[in-house]
Structure 1
């Protein structure tokens, strides 16, 4: 402890003791001091509220003083604007200890505040990758002046980036910042528990992988990894109304955070709780910023209340001192559950807790499967999606916007040799030139008319984000924005008034401005409806599906089961016992005429998609997370022959052209490459191969 404090700047140590009143540093904070001060790239792992922000910031602030960094020297990057807003006051106060400044830049920050930042850059800038991209492509920003002094980049909740295309975008932007600074920039990732920390840090290093020292610091995670801990209970309630009854009756006088995995469910539960007189607040991405802030602030200050949220409150946003976490149904990953569990147990003498309320029997099975994996100490590895060709296209276009013109033989150097943004991207660049996304003048490339047409609106703002948001209508009560709703709710036929459910309240639609995508409403006592387009999560994993099989075979998760949950699991085992066998996989033949034939692979959505593509006519093409539908003429010998033939020639799943709409910038790719990108992301070749090698038995069900 003393050696760690001795290395921090004296002013930081003074304020730790006298301003914060700390008597010691946490183990993570102690162990992070040396590698961060020595300039290592680092991954700091701890559960939610484990002190990761301070573990990074205190040595970074010390380095800032010890080495005399000036201008904007530290970027602090987060996946959510709400998290940045939450962190800004804290980081500003830490920076002020040394006479330094921290500022905030994201889509909700005013133009006047941005001008002040550009005129007099702070020492620390809190932002998102999309906002950094917007700065890089803006003609109003002197990129080299603003970013030329960068020394360190802190990426908070790095696991939330790495698992999707925002991670590829983040890596590419970091490499462009490195090129602007003209020096390596230290990269520090902050994360909750992940299954592959070494690989995650290696990914974060980008082009510096293997060339720069790298350290994983995870004392709290290592200490807790051997025995999962917490007061966890699983209950089966059967409906949203029953869930609301249980929540309203239990834990009165306590502050409860309820997670739901859809906005629609948040709205339904919020309305049901309010109908039972429970003080209830809501938070999800389709509520207005002001609506969410009011709800989160009120919840943080209140007692005996509930806030119902999607994963927007999973990533460390401070909503005060929680007593309970409740989960409707189950998230699809153990990592997500650990984030949510970590919101509780922060007070001395309290324990982390979570109550699962399953709404349907299949939800009960998946919740039990998730808790079984958790009980085994399993956490999913974070893996970047393969073959991000559409992000390559976006980055080449963004680079041309940033530099105005780029040498046709020099563009690959902008990412410092980072794969796949290197010379291997040449076919994509050729396509961009051939189809007018880029123009060419001798050896120079610049933005072409097709890029202007597709992405040029609002000064190429659409170029800065790599995810596609479904269209929504803004809902207004007078001048107050309530949030956004799916346009399908405004076009479907209804009898009587059209009533929406938003913010846990019902709103009667009074007028729709189709051109400006606005919907005007007034509050009503009538019952409203909520709906949003699904983002398409891609189904459940192989690990979770196999854990569900284990539950049906008799495994109970190491948590408290209510009598309703125990009875529900027993009924599931009776009803679905024919779909599992301890000696291997099962093919069932059922239905009135024996034509419902299913191969119960318990392999997850991606592996079953791969098998469906690879087995051709031997399957009917229909599959889900746990089974494939087979033709009624299939026999054990025929299936064995087909499996043997497919074992050496697994195929990628077929891609529906409509699915390409969700792959942003796919229009800037040759169609075969766009389809190949999506197909690679829909596949699980390894699990499919293992399924083909497992024994199979046929059985008839009544």
Structure 2
């Protein structure tokens, strides 16, 4: 086993004398050998497990031993707030060795960026979007800047891998590797995930199978006896039913006085409503979500580090590894989307010796109560979602092709695949996309070379192609100002809908009177007012799609299973009511077909949104076209009977169909306009499907409770 003596002596001296550490944690010890040997790795540990130091100490030791020069380490994070939080620690660690660390993201000033370009730091902390902006910028000589690059650390790697930001990240790393002309060590940091080996292979990209790699996770390798000897904190989980945001505010205001509490909400609107109600009850409250100004979000981050006796209300923006210091409590309104997300939030607490990891769930609705109970049932069994990259990232391929031409100015029309070193969808499968980009003018071809075309200039050229560097779509918003101070951003619908009386907004947990709207610049000016404000942010109009596993867990709860957590009397009574409510919709022996109160026939699959969408499309002969897909049931035609049902199921035995795609979804696919329409639709249809879940349901017995026409 490695130890402090294997690190650089100067670094070891400061670890012992400046940090006061007598030894390293198991993860930090086990990471030394592979990282100093240049291996790729995934470092796994529960939240607050010392992952940053486990990566940085051996990499900095290797940097010194091998005399790396220039910017040799990239430290990538999914959130700017996490980067801001990490910078002081990495500045300290690098300074011990006479090295430097610096920050580069959208909030960094032009002056700071100029200093970084003139005096390259040894470690650069940034996001993939900012890294892309550096690659395509005319002001950055990226080949010179990244010429010394040796290692990339990806913090919270699971947060990338599960969506399109992960494909974007992998493609960028391949382009960087091509630019520097050498393999780049890849190190991912994550809390516990369901499939760490697959996650490691994903992070390796084109190097998977060719480079030495390992998963470092001593907490998973240890025996049960070893686990008990590590003084893992006691976990205290409680589920309550309160029925409304107003009641939730009353409960939060009355409990845990004198403690620092972090409340997670599942929408920005709920954050705003709860924040205002807590302030009206005299609670010192800070808010954090993506539509608040930088200054507002920094107040919440500062409260994390310094404040006491307060409540911080947040969306998932404070879920990831920001140092929460002496946080006492986590409270969850409704339920997060995944068990993995819950584990991240639970890990915010219990960091001090003698403290307890805890989370109080406050359910506002019956659906919220069932979702929380189902999630906690899976958690109590030790189940965590596997991280699965979204399939068919054709729109990211199109974005990368345009970005590469912007970066290199001209790219050989037969050489472009070399930039991604054979990485999955970025190789031969991209040929039809290249042809479409040329045909539609996104790319021009001349003399065997590809370069940015007029259509790409028209669609993405605004503000130096800024829109090309982000792979997610944000609906248009108006920036809200009080005088010269920016408060945040709001949905334009709140500024255009017909109302009686003064127009009021709810933002940053306070109500504001709208005094002037600058339509051309998309700005809104406000003054403080006493209550009555509304909060709203539009998405793409789709409800949150619950997975097959979580929906099936809810079914188990309805059939009588209780999670191994504390249930309040209100929660017990509300669960009993929910079980009575759904008594005729669940059966332990399979699925049910019933006639609902609305008169139409429902097939209760309890399969989740994507599996139900797949089943509805595949069983078109018996499913009703006039329905909106949900997690629990599918509407059937009025004339369906057991015989017709049996025939329809037999007809799909040869293969399932992909779901139909809502035109709004195609319009909401970032860079979808750079794809042939059929490929854009096929991309989304594949992502909206759950073939495995659908097959599981079809293999189960189906019981008809009523015959059609009764």
- The alignment's TM-score, normalised by the length of structure 2, stands at 0.97
Find the counterpart in structure 2 of residue 211 from structure 1.
Answer: 210
Tell me how far 1:538 sits from its aligned partner.
4.6
State the distance in 2 between where 1:375 and 1:587 align: 31
Question: Contact 2:666–2:681 (CA<8 Å) still a contact in 1?
Answer: yes
- The match for 2:568 among 549, 558, 562 is 562
Partner SS, residue 617 of structure 1: coil
SS of residue paired to 1:396:
helix
- CA change 1:106–1:203 in 2 (3 A) is same
**Matched residue SS, 2:685:** helix
Q: 1:250 to 1:221 in 2, by over 3 A?
A: farther
- After TM superposition, the structure 1 = structure 2 runs for residues 85-104 of structure 1, keeping only pairs within 5 Å, are 85-104=84-103
CA contact under 8 A between 1:4 and 1:34: conserved in structure 2? Answer: no
1:59 aligns with 2:48: no
Matched, 1:22 2:21: yes
1:590–1:700 CA contact under 8 A, matched in 2: no
Contact conserved, 1:8 with 1:58, CA < 8 A, in 2?
yes
- Aligned counterparts, 1:61-140, within 5 A: 61-140=60-139
Matched with 1:617 is 621
Query: Which of 493, 498, 509 lines up with 1:504 in the alignment?
Result: 509
CA distance in 2, matches of 1:500, 1:266: 14
User: Aligned equivalents of 1:134 and 1:370: distance in 2?
Assistant: 39
The correspondence of residues 264-279 of structure 1 with structure 2, limited to 5 A, is 264-279=269-284
- Alignment of 1:48 onto 2:47: yes
The CA deviation at 1:195 is 0.5
The CA RMSD measured in Å over matched residues stands at 1.5
CA contact 1:647–1:689 (8 Å) conserved in 2 = no
Assess if the C-alpha contact under 8 Å between 2:4 and 2:23 holds in 1: no
The aligned runs of 1:427-466 (5 Å cut-off) are 427-466=432-471
Q: State how far apart, in whole Å, the 1-side matches of 2:706 and 2:333 are.
A: 35
CA distance in 2 between partners of 1:575 and 1:469 (Å): 38
Residues in 2 aligned to 1:293 and 1:368: alpha-carbon distance in whole angstroms: 33
Q: In the alignment, which residue of structure 2 is the partner of 1:574?
A: 580
Partner of residue 610, structure 2: 606
Moved more, 393-402 or 636-645: 636-645
SS at match of 2:238: strand
Secondary structure of the corresponding residue to residue 216 of structure 1: strand
Are the structure 2 counterparts of residues 417 and 118 from structure 1 closer, same or farther at C-alpha, using a change threshold of 3 Å?
Answer: same
**2:383 is equivalent to residue 384 of structure 1:** no
Of 390, 412, 415, the match for 2:417 = 412
Pairwise CA distance, 1:224: 9.8
1:103-502 matched pairs, under 5 angstroms: 103-221=102-220, 230-502=235-507
Cα deviation digits, residues 76-118 of structure 1 (max 9, x gap) = 0001111111111110110000000001111111111111111
Contact in 2 for aligned 1:40/1:212 (Cα 8 Å):
yes
Counterpart-to-counterpart distance in 2, 1:374 and 1:223: 20
| Contact 1:157 1:189 (C-alpha < 8 Å) held by counterparts | yes
Change in CA separation of 1:631 and 1:47 when aligned onto 2, cut-off 3 Å: same
Task: Say which SS state the counterpart of residue 578 (structure 2) adopts.
Answer: helix
Q: Does the 8 Å contact 1:79/1:156 carry over to 2?
A: yes
How far, CA to CA, are the matches of 1:231 and 1:698 in structure 2?
Answer: 42
Indicate whether 1:647 and 2:621 are aligned: no
Output the CA distance in 1 between the equivalents of 2:360 and 2:662. 39
Match of 2:635 among 626, 629, 633: 629
Distance in 1 between the 2:530 and 2:468 partners?
42
Distance (whole Å) between structure 1 residues aligned to residue 301 and residue 99 of structure 2: 29
Deviation (angstroms), 1:300: 2.9
Q: Return the offset for 1:421.
A: 0.6
Q: Render the CA deviation track for 1:326-351: whole Å, top value 9, x for unaligned.
A: 00000010000000000000010111
Distance 2:147 2:139 in 1: 16
Counterpart-to-counterpart distance in 2, 1:472 and 1:219: 46
TM-fit CA distance, 1:296: 2.5
Query: Which residue number in structure 1 is paired with residue 689 of structure 2?
Result: 683
Q: 1:667 — aligned with what?
A: 673
TM-score (norm 1): 0.98
CA contact (8 A) 1:437 1:450 kept: yes
The question of 1:697 aligning with 2:696 is answered no
Note if contact 1:393-1:668 (Cα within 8 Å) is conserved in structure 2.
yes
User: CA–CA distance in 1 between the matches of 2:363 and 2:531?
Assistant: 28
1:586 alignment partner in structure 2: 592
Distance 1:264 1:412 in 2: 44
- For residues 528-549 of structure 1, the C-alpha deviation after alignment (integer angstroms, 9 at most, x for no partner) is 1101113646500000000000
Sort the Cα spacing of 1:98 and 1:210 in 2 relative to 1 into closer, same or farther, 3 A.
same
SS in 2 for 1:199: helix
Displacement after TM superposition at 1:358 (Å): 0.1
Aligned partners of 1:267 and 1:503 also within 8 Å: yes
Aligned with 1:616: secondary structure?
A: coil
Once the two structures are TM-superposed, the CA of residue 191 in structure 1 deviates from its matched residue by: 0.6
Q: Which has the larger displacement, 488-497 or 220-229?
A: 220-229
